[in-house]
């Protein structure tokens, strides 16, 4: 079976305007472009419409004889490419809804097939270390992003976990062919885990995220869709909101020091999720194996990105190295400064 789009006609391909006759309805140009782009990706469109089902009381013979010629003529005039027009979809009524787990709303559809990423395959890379409690909910959350982006693989990197992370990842991978596992017997550091994922990636666009459910990639993109469409940037970095005062102060001080070292303003580089062109990163072996990889990627992307707000939620489960003891914070803080001095 070929992949296909099942698209409604009225108020989807047409613009909602009850005052106009069907033959003179206006075209939703954004939806039409998305349908055209989907065809370029070899995804056919079937139009499934409930037009006149209420008016003709479900009389399919009358709908075929009266409704079809008007609809086909309109689609031909508007140059909409489709493989099939199916009439007779049940009408849900003014206060009813169509419920479907494979349903895209119009905004998602337009972004997925005509936004800046519509031609791009994206690998989502997530390193995991002792994250067994998060895995099931993590993948459920991640799957929502397919409503907006063309995911090539979910690359989950077991970075030497000592709990049941690997077993749960293996079970999960049996259920979804898009899951690609990278299994490291020893912990290679936060940066080392990301590098292992990058080396396994075959997509031109990379998205990075954490496994602790603090950052929702779908919400990040959906809430910033219009800005992303307007700018057409392929590199997107987050500006974290909803953080505790101590965390904000710690980051602010680090950014001041790094800005002084590099003699340019350093924005929030530690947050997730990130989206960037893999080609900008250069040699993967030159990237650091510790937390400094976030700074290294930020500097590689340089000015070719848009900085957008993301809500930071409470960590779901597991442990965070960065938010551990004050001694660990100081150690990581110093690692950033030393790396910056060496690579300025």
The three-state DSSP-derived secondary structure of 235-246 is CEEEEEECCCHH
Q: Across the beta sheet with 4-7, what order do the strands follow?
A: 4-7, 44-49, 84-87
pLDDT at 253: 95
pLDDT at 18: 66
pLDDT at 278: 97
Neighbours of 213 (CB within 10 A): 19
- The answer to whether residues 27 and 127 belong to one domain is no
CA distances from residue 34 to 8, 15, 306 in whole angstroms, order as listed: 13, 15, 23
pLDDT at 303: 78
pLDDT at 326: 78
pLDDT at 302: 82
Token digits for 180?
């690609």
**Count of domains observed in the chain:** 2
CATH number at residue 59: 3.40.50.1000
Q: Tell me the C-alpha distance between 218 and 146, whole Å.
A: 8
Backbone angles phi, psi at 128, to 5 degrees: -130, 135
Number of residues that this document lists for the chain: 344
- The answer to whether residues 84 and 123 belong to one domain is no
- The answer to whether residues 183 and 102 belong to one domain is no
CA triple 25-27-32, angle to 5 deg: 150
Residue ranges, the chain, pLDDT below 50: none
pTM: 0.92
Query: In the listed set 94, 112, 130, which residue is the last one of a domain according to the structure?
Result: 112
pLDDT at 323: 56
- The answer to whether residues 169 and 190 belong to one domain is yes
- The answer to whether residues 215 and 66 belong to one domain is no
Residue 333 · residue 249 · CB < 8 Å: no
- The answer to whether residues 108 and 225 belong to one domain is no
DSSP E strand boundaries for 129-178? 151-159
Residue 117 · residue 34 · CB < 8 Å: no
CATH number at residue 317: 3.90.550.10
Give the domain range for residue 99: 4-112
- The answer to whether residues 121 and 101 belong to one domain is no
Closest CA to 234 of 292, 278, 285, 287: 278
- The answer to whether residues 182 and 331 belong to one domain is yes
- The answer to whether residues 19 and 39 belong to one domain is yes
- The answer to whether residues 136 and 274 belong to one domain is yes
Query: In the listed set 92, 112, 132, which residue is the last one of a domain according to the structure?
Result: 112
pLDDT at 314: 86
- The answer to whether residues 120 and 140 belong to one domain is yes
Query: In the listed set 51, 85, 112, which residue is the last one of a domain according to the structure?
Result: 112
- The answer to whether residues 106 and 122 belong to one domain is no
CA triple 257-258-259, angle to 5 deg: 90
């Amino acid at each position: 079976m070929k992949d296909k789009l099942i698209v409604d006609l009225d108020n989807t391909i047409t613009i909602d305007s009850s005052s106009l006759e069907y033959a003179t309805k206006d075209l939703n140009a954004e939806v039409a472009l998305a349908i055209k782009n989907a065809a370029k990706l070899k995804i056919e469109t079937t139009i499934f419409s409930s037009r006149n089902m209420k008016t003709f009381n479900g009389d399919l013979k009358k709908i075929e004889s009266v409704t079809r010629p008007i609809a086909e003529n309109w689609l031909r005039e508007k140059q909409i490419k489709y493989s099939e027009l199916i009439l007779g979809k049940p009408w849900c009524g003014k206060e009813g809804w169509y419920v479907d787990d494979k349903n895209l709303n119009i905004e998602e559809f337009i972004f997925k097939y005509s936004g800046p990423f519509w031609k791009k395959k994206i690998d989502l890379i997530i390193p995991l270390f002792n994250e067994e409690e998060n895995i099931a909910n993590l993948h459920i959350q991640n799957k929502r992003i397919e409503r907006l982006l063309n995911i090539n693989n979910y690359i989950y990197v077991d970075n030497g976990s000592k709990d049941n992370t690997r077993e749960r990842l293996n079970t999960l991978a049996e259920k979804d062919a898009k899951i690609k596992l990278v299994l490291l017997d020893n912990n290679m550091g936060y940066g080392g885990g990301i590098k292992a994922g990058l080396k396994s990636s075959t997509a031109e666009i990379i998205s990075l995220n954490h496994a602790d459910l603090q950052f929702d990639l779908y919400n990040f993109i959906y809430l910033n869709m219009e800005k992303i469409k307007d700018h057409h940037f392929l590199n997107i970095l987050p500006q974290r909101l909803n953080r505790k005062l101590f965390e904000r102060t710690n980051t602010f001080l680090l950014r001041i020091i790094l800005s002084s070292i590099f003699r340019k303003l350093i924005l929030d580089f530690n947050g997730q999720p990130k989206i960037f062109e893999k080609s900008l990163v250069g040699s993967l072996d030159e990237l650091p194996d510790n937390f400094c990889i976030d700074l290294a990627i930020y500097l590689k992307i340089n000015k070719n990105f848009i900085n957008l707000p993301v809500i930071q939620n409470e960590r779901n489960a597991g442990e965070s190295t960065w938010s551990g003891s004050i001694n660990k914070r100081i150690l990581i803080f110093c690692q950033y400064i030393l790396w910056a001095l060496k690579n300025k």
